[in-house]
Structure 1
Amino acid sequence: MPKKTAVKDYIRTIVDFPHEGIMFRDVTTLFADPRGFRMAIDQMLHPYAGERIDKVVGLEARGFIMGGAIAHQLSVGFVPIRKKGKLPGRTLSQDYKLEYGEAIVEIHEDAIQPGEKVLVVDDLLATGGTASAGIKLIERLGGEIISCAFIVDLPDLGGRKVLEDLGMDVHVLCEFDGE
């Protein structure tokens, strides 16, 4: 077995999941390996050394894993953005388009205070739909997004351009061509 020297080496590809023609990039193998997980957290933190961050926002669901670990390392609060109906308190909602249909994400309306500096985290950037919806929620609460960080970018799907067109700084650890 070849030595794993990069985050990308820890991510497996599952062919035809969840349906035929999809190359699913599975980060659970990265999360399960202590060296790989530490490498990913360290690399996601590196660009923000010395930067003021008040909150880390994780996008459902794998963004919670990375976001929680990053918030811990930074000694800042963690805020989840969840699918509709999953948060118990008063929420703000934002709809967004999926490849086939629509979805809604929510944030607690008291999760972020105006002027707080926010880092948005998720595992994978595809079309940018979920991240865009999360950005809109954070901005509606008055949060200032310093950057959006992802483990994987699928550049063929255009999500990075979508976020950059919203004025976002985007940081990714690796890319995979195709879907």
Structure 2
Amino acid sequence: MQPVLEIFAADDFAPEEDHGPCPTDPLGAFLHGPLTMPDLFAPGGSRVTDTATATVFVEAGCRNGLETWRDRREVLDGTGCSSFCHAPSSAAGRVDDAVRLTLDTQAKDGSPVIELPLDQVRALVIGAQADLRSFLSLAGTRAGQHLPTHAAAVTAALTRALDPEPTE
């Protein structure tokens, strides 16, 4: 349940008024924000390192939480670019049959880049999607055991945040 607690703790804030009054019991108060807010932050995320140079191109962070994994689909299908955090301002974009990762899109003197084969990146995204499905299944089971009265709502909030639906 530790990863679930981390996700919920990251989203433990007072929701907007239209989400109803916050419960007064400690558990209800803790769950209120994450259960009522439409978009959740899920700490963690992708990390991509060029093993030849030990350069970290993508780091888990504020704009690269687990909830952003779906942004990679737009890169894979060639319709978008995916940004990852800031300082450095890393990004990924599709170039022919590859995905180009740029370490710092705001660098004045250019920035290191690497290109990964599209099929390799697609396999990684599909693997991440499968991992998220497994996580949600396990989290749902554990929520049923430890938070039976809130299990359905907790599972729904996690599913909303991580959205592991098929990409194809």
TM range (shorter): under 0.3
Task: Identify, as 1 or 2, the structure richer in strand.
Answer: 1
TM-score (norm 1): 0.26
